[in-house]
Amino acid sequence: MVKHIVTFKLSGTAEERAAVALRFAEALRALPAQIECLESIEVGINENPAEEWDVVLTATLPSLADVDVYAKHPAHVAAASIIAGHKAGRACVDYSMD
């Protein structure tokens, strides 16, 4: 089992970032029904204005190979396109859960 944790920093005004983050989060939350290997996904939108990162997702997949399947799946690619023009930063950690 692999945990896939990704955080995103968005560009734009606070209002633009909030709107994009909400659309992105909704699209991500719909992915488990569309991507068979995606066991679960949790998405959070930052509520603390003192912090710089806007969105975090935590996904659970059977293996690291499945993370690659998930990343290339058309539904995931479509979700990621929502923030394409606003993505100022991305950080990711994938780790095995034993």
Sign of the torsion formed by the C-alpha atoms of 68, 5, 94 and 34:
negative
Contact 3, 92 (CB under 8 A): no
96 — pLDDT class (breaks 50, 70, 90): very high
Classify 42 in phi/psi space as left (phi over 0), alpha (psi -120 to 50) or beta.
beta
**Residue 62 tokens, joined:** 């059977």
Confidence (pLDDT) at 98: 76
Tell me: the pLDDT tens digits for 28-56? 999 999 999 999 999 999 999 899 999 99
Model confidence at 63: pLDDT above 90 = yes
Closest CA to 86 of 17, 4, 5: 17
pTM over 0.85: yes
Confidence (pLDDT) at 80: 96
61 — pLDDT class (breaks 50, 70, 90): very high
